[in-house]
Amino acid sequence: MVRLTCPPGSAADFLWAPDEMRWRRAFCGRPEQVAEARGFARTLFAGAECLDLVEFAVGELAANTLRHTRSSEDGGWFGVELVYDDPVYVAVTDNGGTSVPAVEEPDVWAESGRGLWSLSQLAAGLGVQGCQRTGHLVWVEIRLGGAFAG
């Protein structure tokens, strides 16, 4: 058995060390789980300048999985991955569906359809991986300081 030694410094030094911290969690594909996913992010990023952007990204990406993929069907789920680094990495995995997530200029008169576009304007990076059959991973990178990408 390897015995770990306590590193010098404070608890804060330990918690906020320069190494990335990575968390993953799966959520049932039900609407109330979007709030749970936002709460998960809020807890992990409490005190960080980018907290609001991280919470917005998780909420938007999770809501999109339920609206546009098979994640909301019986037995469906979505996954959230968060990495505390600079930039912060936020990713949501879905169960696939009939379309591919895409950033499109929003219709000014439409009541929805602005989420992914808004994220693309606020984030330092945004991408989509995967396919309709097996699922997608939609990710954004957010500056740790919380500044807008602009």
The pLDDT of residue 10 is: 60
Residue 59: both structure tokens together: 């909420």
146: alpha, beta or left? (left if phi > 0; alpha if psi -120 to 50): left
The pLDDT of residue 118 is: 87
pLDDT: is 45 or 117 the higher one?
Answer: 45
Stretch 53-73: mean pLDDT: 95
Stretch 49-60: mean pLDDT: 95
The CATH number corresponding to 23-142 among 3.30.470.10, 3.40.50.1820, 3.30.565.10, 3.90.1200.10 equals 3.30.565.10
The pLDDT of residue 11 is: 59
pLDDT: is 5 or 54 the higher one?
Answer: 54
115-122 and 51-68 helices, crossing angle to 10°: 150
For residue 55, pLDDT over 60 is answered with yes
Summarised one tens digit per residue, pLDDT across range 81-110 is 999 999 999 999 999 988 877 667 767 666
Helix (H) or strand (E) holding 78: strand 77-84
For residue 5, pLDDT over 50 is answered with no
In sequence order, the β-bridge partners of residue 126 are 140
Using 50, 70 and 90 to split pLDDT, how confident is the model at 13?
A: low
